[in-house]
Amino acid sequence: MCVYIYIHVIYIYIYIYIYMGCRMITEEEEILKIKLKPGWRKGTKITFEGKGDQKPGYLAADIIFLIDEKRHPLFNRDGDNLEIAVEIPLVQALTGCSLSVPLLGGEKMSLSIIENIIFPGYEKVIKGQGMPNPKDAGAKRGDLIVKFLVDFPTHLSDEQRSQAVTILQDCF
């Protein structure tokens, strides 16, 4: 609604004429641009104040966009950290292994674990290879956490079982 106020000063008297009207509704198009920042988390809100629907007598509404995350086929996100699960056979878990770990940008990194025994739940942290921190202009990144899943054999013959006992009994 448009309100026009005309004020006429005639001598000492003030006459105020108020015209109510202008009920015309117009449609306007405006392109709103969002500059996405690397590392934005699920639930991040982007607000365009006063850019939403308007109607006479009311303030214009805000337009709010909420960021959602699409599930990645390899990585799980935990804050700024990324987690990846890697399966290795029991023999490599006990004797050491070298493997190629995918990174976020599509590159691969060589990872060798020779000195440690990899047990179920073992994790290797690769510093600075996680998600960018949106508040730090991409300078700071989270970590990539490699979680090892040890693939145990489903059955052993009697001979294999006795050999395993012979080999492993001195380890404890």
Question: Which mean pLDDT values do the consecutive 10-residue runs of the chain (172 residues) have?
Answer: 38 42 64 83 88 80 86 92 95 92 91 90 94 78 95 92 87 70
What does the longest C-alpha to C-alpha distance in the chain come to? 119
Q: Which two tokens stand for residue 127?
A: 């510093």
pLDDT computed for residue 149 by the predictor: 95
Long-range CB pairs of 2-5 (<8 Å, 24+ gap) are: 2/56
Q: Which residue has the tokens 């145990």?
A: 152
pLDDT computed for residue 18 by the predictor: 46
pLDDT computed for residue 75 by the predictor: 94
Plot region of 163 (φ>0 → left; ψ -120 to 50 → alpha; else → beta)? alpha
10 Å CB burial of residue 93 (0-12, 13-18, 19+) is buried
| Verdict on whether the full-model pTM lies above 0.85 | no
Which residues, 6+ apart, have CB-to-CB distance to 101 below 8 Å? 84, 86, 108, 109, 110, 111, 126, 144, 146
pLDDT computed for residue 8 by the predictor: 37
Chosen CATH of 75-155 out of 1.10.760.10, 3.30.700.30, 1.10.10.60, 2.60.260.20: 2.60.260.20
pLDDT computed for residue 15 by the predictor: 41
**Domain ranges within the chain, ordered by starting residue:** 2-66, 75-155
